[in-house]
Amino acid sequence: MAREIERKFLVKEGDWRAAEGVRYRQGYLNSVKERVVRVRTIGDRGYLTVKGLTVGASRLEFEYEIPVRDAEQMLDELCERSLIEKDRHKVQHAGLVWEIDEFFGENQGLVVCEVELESEDQVFERPEWLREEVTGDPRYFNSNLIKHPYTRW
């Protein structure tokens, strides 16, 4: 069993753009808040992820690599619409990896970052490009962005 502890923030322009982005394409086979089942391609690799209910900043998460062709077919034929398209930039800052997601398509203009922590109360140094925290705001969950895209807010 794996537990994910992460916090999410809005992002402003900054030196994070120097980090090369990798294209992600993802969709959801199930997007109810109690259990999310996500299919994703990252470059030429495919993944299936199951996540439990978020409590505070943590939840159960199980992720498995699957054949990329299977992932692409699930994205094209089985997943709820709309799909999530984004570039992920990974930035090291003060001993942590910050994952900055720049969205495209129906979520164009949204830029958020996540940081995985060892505990919910872990103290960390904030990068200068960090804006307000949105960890507890369900509008920013990727599984909700398929139903209520950022461009329609």
Q: What is the DSSP pairing of strand 3-11 with strand 58-66? A: antiparallel
The answer to whether residue 84 scores a pLDDT higher than 70 is yes
Q: Find where tokens 């930035």 sit.
A: 91
CATH at 14: 2.40.320.10
Give the domain range for residue 86: 3-152
Q: List, for residues 95-109, the tens digit of each pLDDT value.
A: 999 999 999 999 999
Whether cis (ω within 30° of 0) applies to the bond prior to 31 is: no
Number of domains in the chain: 1
- The set of catalytic residues is 28
> Following CA atoms 114, 14, 153, 72 in sequence, which dihedral angle do they give, to the nearest 10 degrees?
-60
In the chain, what is the greatest distance between 2 CA atoms, to the nearest angstrom? Answer: 43
- What global pTM score does this model have? 0.90
> Which tens digit of pLDDT belongs to each residue from 36-46?
999 999 999 99
